[in-house]
Amino acid sequence: MMDKVTEEVEKVKKDFQETYAQTVKYIETIHNYGTKSRIDNPGEAEKKDSLPRLNGLAQDGLNLLQSLQFNLDLLAPQLPVVDDVEKAQSLAQSWEKQIQSLRLSLRNANLQAKANMKKAAQEERELLLGGGEESTTRRRNLQTKAGMTSAAESITESLRRTRQLMVQEVERSASTIMTFVILVTGFLLFSLAVLYVVSKRVGVLKLQRQVIAAVKAGMAGQQEEIVVPIAARDNMNVVPVHQNVVPELNVPFEQPMHDEL
């Protein structure tokens, strides 16, 4: 019974073989890209994958192979048998060389694809510029296809503009709502600040009035007393006299003059 490490190593080997075979197919497709003319095969371009997409698939395969090779490097020292460890490490080194070879093949395949497309374009140009009924038919087919392509691009552009308008309208609505919320929040905060200031001011005025009223009450109730001695028979009587009270004095305006002579 195999342990978990050995099972994982076998799984990595299987995944590497499958990914390697698929990546080789993508590279071969890139190498043969552009060999067929669009005039002779007007529907071939729609059936085939584009060159950038094929390159993306091939690059994804290379990245996956690199990841599997890295996993094998990590799992190799964990194998229980020394011979298996050496074999796994040797296999990992072999995988590294295969990955480098695939990268070089992919680069060469792209160069070949560009050459194929250039050659096919030259052949199409010669056929379109040539005379005869066959050339006219091919030109008509190409024009029809070009018209269909232009119509499709026009529809796509219209849909794209419609989508942009919808997105802009949604953004504008969201912006309007956000502006309204900000204005309402700012008005509420300003109102609270004004109420707080007014309440503080009213409290200060009320306190000031109370202090003034207390001072006036104290001044009205404060009375200074003056002691005036009045002679009695044997002792002196002290009569308090308020300073703010004017005493009544019965002083005659004119005293009668007596002739002592």
Q: Where are the domains of the chain?
A: 4-130, 138-205
- CATH fold of 4-130, please? Methane Monooxygenase Hydroxylase; Chain G, domain 1 (1.20.58)
- What pLDDT shows up at residue 64? 94
- What pLDDT shows up at residue 46? 41
* pLDDT tens digits along 71-124: 999 999 988 889 999 999 999 999 999 999 999 999 999 999 999 988 888 877
In percent, how much of the chain has pLDDT > 90?
30
* pLDDT tens digits along 207-238: 778 878 888 777 766 544 444 454 444 555 54
The pTM of the full predicted model, rounded to 2 decimals, is 0.47
Q: In which residue are the tokens 């707080």 written?
A: 196
- What pLDDT shows up at residue 224? 47
- What pLDDT shows up at residue 260? 47
Better-predicted residue by pLDDT, 119 or 249: 119
Could you tell me the pLDDT band of residue 258, with boundaries at 50, 70 and 90? low
Could you tell me the pLDDT band of residue 19, with boundaries at 50, 70 and 90? very high
The pLDDT of residue 38 is above 60: no
Could you tell me the pLDDT band of residue 40, with boundaries at 50, 70 and 90? low
- What pLDDT shows up at residue 55? 92
- What pLDDT shows up at residue 121? 81
In percent, how much of the chain has pLDDT > 70?
67
The lowest-confidence range among 8-22, 133-147, 203-217 is 133-147
- What pLDDT shows up at residue 47? 47
